[in-house]
A and B are shown apart, each in its own frame.
Chain A
Amino acid sequence: AQSVTQLGSHVSVSEGALVLLRCNYSSSVPPYLFWYVQYPNQGLQLLLKYTSAATLVKGINGFEAEFKKSETSFHLTKPSAHMSDAAEYFCAVTKGAGTALIFGKGTTLSVSS
Chain B
Amino acid sequence: DTAVSQTPKYLVTQMGNDKSIKCEQNLGHDTMYWYKQDSKKFLKIMFSYNNKELIINETVPNRFSPKSPDKAHLNLHINSLELGDSAVYFCASSIETEAFFGQGTRLTVV
Contacts and interface: CB of A to CB of B under 8 A. Distances in A.
A43 B31 contact: no
A109 to B, nearest CB: 13
Contacts of B43: 44, 90, 101, 103, 106
A105 interface: yes
Contacts of B30: 98
B44 A103 contact: yes
A42 B33 CA distance: 17
Contact of A94 (B40, B97, B104, B106): B97
Given A32-B97, A103-B44, A98 B102 contact: no
B contacts with A: majority SS: strand
Interface of B: 4, 30-31, 33, 35, 40-45, 48, 50, 55-56, 90, 92, 94, 96-104, 106
Interface of A: 32, 34, 36, 38, 41-46, 49, 51, 88, 90, 94, 96-103, 105-106
Closest 10 CB pairs of A and B: A100-B45, A103-B43, A43-B101, A44-B101, A43-B103, A32-B97, A97-B96, A98-B31, A106-B41, A100-B48
Given A49-B97, A98-B31, A99-B97, 13 more contacts: A36-B101, A42-B104, A43-B4, A45-B101, A51-B97, A88-B41, A100-B33, A100-B56, A101-B43, A101-B99, A105-B40, A106-B42, A106-B43
30 contacts: A32-B97, A34-B97, A36-B101, A41-B106, A42-B103, A43-B4, A43-B90, A43-B101, A43-B103, A44-B43, A44-B90, A44-B92, A45-B101, A46-B98, A46-B100, A49-B97, A88-B41, A90-B43, A94-B97, A97-B97, A98-B55, A100-B33, A100-B48, A101-B35, A101-B45, A103-B42, A103-B43, A105-B40, A106-B41, A106-B43
